Amino acid sequence: MNSEVTFLLRALDEAFDRKSWHGTNLRGSLRGLSAAEAAWRPAPGRHSIREIVVHCAYWKYAVRRRILGQKRGSFPLKGSDWFARSGGEGEKGWRQDVALLEHEHAELRAAVTGLKASRLPARPPGSTVTYGHLLRGVLAHDLYHAGQIQLIKRLARTART
């Protein structure tokens, strides 16, 4: 495997679930959260941690689909981008959403493993950005939302006191 692809895989993993220097990654930000905590909203109309988790799973799916040249429509949930998650499904529903995120990360990782470095500067059909840009974007997306989740957890603790 080419060193550029290897680098991107490591960076994807560090942003998602591997030890890194920057602190909590996306998967780490979810550690120990209950369904009730994941469903809490910082304000009316704001996203819950659970909704952010499914949003991140969706974008891992979308990037994988673009890398592989697949058509839309195979994401397990109806809709796109943001999905309403009420939390009414309890712990089982929350665990299923986290499992979906983990599954989509593994699928994205597998797609990147098969990517030739020579394709990184090229654009997928119908895209305005390159394969490399998509991959750097999805790992930045994980880190952005990991930080957002950390802030929501702090807000929730403050709201309870």
Phi and psi (nearest 5°) for 31? -55, 125
Total tally of structural domains belonging to the chain: 1
CATH code: domain of residue 94? 1.20.120.450
pTM: 0.94
70-98 pLDDT, tens digit per residue, is 988 889 999 889 998 876 788 999 999 99
Per-residue model confidence (pLDDT) at position 105: 98
Compute the C-alpha angle 35/45/52, nearest 5°.
45
The dihedral formed by the CA atoms of 132, 66, 19 and 85, expressed in degrees to the nearest 10: 140
CB 119 within 8 A of CB 112: no
d(CA 87, CA 125): 37
Range of the domain at 57: 3-160
